[in-house]
Amino acid sequence: MGKNKRMSKEKFNITRVVTKDIITDSFQGIRNFFGLRLRGYEQVLKKHLKEMTAEMEIRYKVEWYRIIINPLTNGSAMMIFYGEGEKNE
């Protein structure tokens, strides 16, 4: 007879610091001067959000999660995924 193995929920967080590169920064500075969307920076954030979401889904059966993006200094940002779920084995 097998025992029912009850998985417990676990709080988790995944943190990543992303930075700009000189080429992206040059073009985005010009776009910012004219009041245009900073698509280069949007693409950097989107890429890392996608990677972090995939990592989270591999590691956990996610029940809920939140995302925090905080600007740091000199064009860098800290991205934090946190939430709760069962850890995948």
Asked if residue 5 belongs to a domain, the reply is no
Is residue 3 pLDDT above 60, yes or no? no
How many folded domains does the chain comprise?
Answer: 1
Asked if residue 2 belongs to a domain, the reply is no
Phi then psi for residue 84, to 5 deg, are -145, 140
Q: Rounded to two decimals, what is the model's pTM?
A: 0.70
Structure tokens, 65: 């999660």
Asked if residue 59 belongs to a domain, the reply is yes
Is residue 63 pLDDT above 70, yes or no? yes
Structural domain of 76: 10-87
Q: What is the pLDDT of residues 8-37, one digit of tens each?
A: 889 999 999 988 776 766 676 777 677 777
Asked if residue 45 belongs to a domain, the reply is yes
* 6 touches 79 (CB < 8 A): no
pLDDT band at 41 (very low <50, low <70, confident <90, very high): confident
Asked if residue 17 belongs to a domain, the reply is yes
